[in-house]
Amino acid sequence: MQLGTVALTGAAGNIGAVVRRALRGEAEHVVLLDRVPLRPEADNEEAHTVDLRDAAAVESALAGADQVLHLGGIPDEAPLPDLLDVNVLGTHHVLEAARRTGIRRVVLAGSNRVTGFHPAGRLTGPQDPVRPDGLYGVSKAAIEALGQLYADKFGLSVICLRIGSFEPAPTEHRHLSTWLSPRDCVGFVRAALTAPESVRFATAYAVSANTRRFWELPDPAVLAYTPVDDAESHAATVPDADRPTDPTAPQAGPYAAPEFTLRHLKP
């Protein structure tokens, strides 16, 4: 599958900005969506200021796209009503717009946080049960379920990328297992956008080739990308890099602590 017109939600975010630069050199046309106003930076870009909660505005901006990369949403722990409103309902609007306008491929930004309570000593894959580490993880599990529904019921081709710790370089101990480099992020996105149309639905961890990683790399038959970066090459600059990981501790690390979620719940 070649890149024709690609729509990118959340284009102003950290991942969106990196992917945007790559896509405008590979796609015929790039449609940028964000609630933050953006300006086109290339002849093949167009920008729309869109709130994902506005179904009509989402459909209007996505009309004519061949593929959608859906990165928009609340990126971390928050009150559940907000996460449901923006992440879950916003994703529903993207999928519904894809169904109504005939978009053939939707790539959803999932998160490793849907399985954060699996132990660090277990290599976890998409076939394992979800074990969200917080309310944000719950919202991302719901997004995956929506993607599966639209693939099964309406025939969309949907790929969910469970994104690791996206950083220029690892800066903390957990990143030695969870880091996703910008280069590998672009590689995973490209592979998901161009995967064969026979891939009706798939979930894959987008993580660099870290020696200490917790997660399985994707099946090449589903997602034809092999990551090239390893957080271990940065270990000398990471505090406590020599400290062994407790194999019984949650993969989520501090995100699994009750305090991380309690501050978003009513007293």
**pLDDT one-digit tens code per residue, 224-256:** 999 999 999 999 999 999 999 999 999 999 999
Assess whether pLDDT exceeds 80 at residue 5.
yes
Per DSSP, the three-state class of 22 is helix
Q: In what order do the strands lie in the sheet with 67-70?
A: 45-49, 29-34, 5-9, 67-70, 105-111, 157-163, 201-206
Look-up: residue for tokens 């907000």? 82
Look-up: residue for tokens 């790929």? 159
Q: What pLDDT does residue 155 have?
A: 97
Residue 190 burial (C-beta neighbours within 10 Å; 0-12, 13-18, 19+): middle
Phi-psi category of residue 164: left, alpha or beta, with phi > 0 → left and psi -120 to 50 → alpha? beta
**pLDDT one-digit tens code per residue, 93-145:** 999 999 999 999 999 999 999 999 999 999 999 999 999 999 999 999 999 99
Round to whole Å and give the CA distance between 84 and 135.
9
Q: What pLDDT does residue 251 have?
A: 98
| Catalytic residue annotation | 136
Q: What is the chain's percent helix, strand, coil content, to nearest 5?
A: 35, 20, 45
Q: For each of the domains in the chain, give its residue range(s) and CATH number, in order of start.
A: 5-262 (3.40.50.720)
Q: What pLDDT does residue 267 have?
A: 81
- How much of the chain exceeds pLDDT 70, in percent? 99
Per-residue pLDDT band for 77 (boundaries 50, 70, 90) equals: very high
- Range list of β-strands (E), the chain: 5-9, 29-34, 45-49, 67-70, 105-111, 157-163, 165-166, 179-180, 201-206
Helix (H) or strand (E) holding 258: helix 258-262
- Range list of β-strands (E), 50-104: 67-70
- The count of C-alpha atoms lying within 13 angstroms of the C-alpha of 189, restricted to the half-sphere facing its C-beta, is 31
Per-residue pLDDT band for 266 (boundaries 50, 70, 90) equals: confident
Q: Is the pTM of this model over 0.95?
A: yes
Assess whether pLDDT exceeds 90 at residue 86.
yes
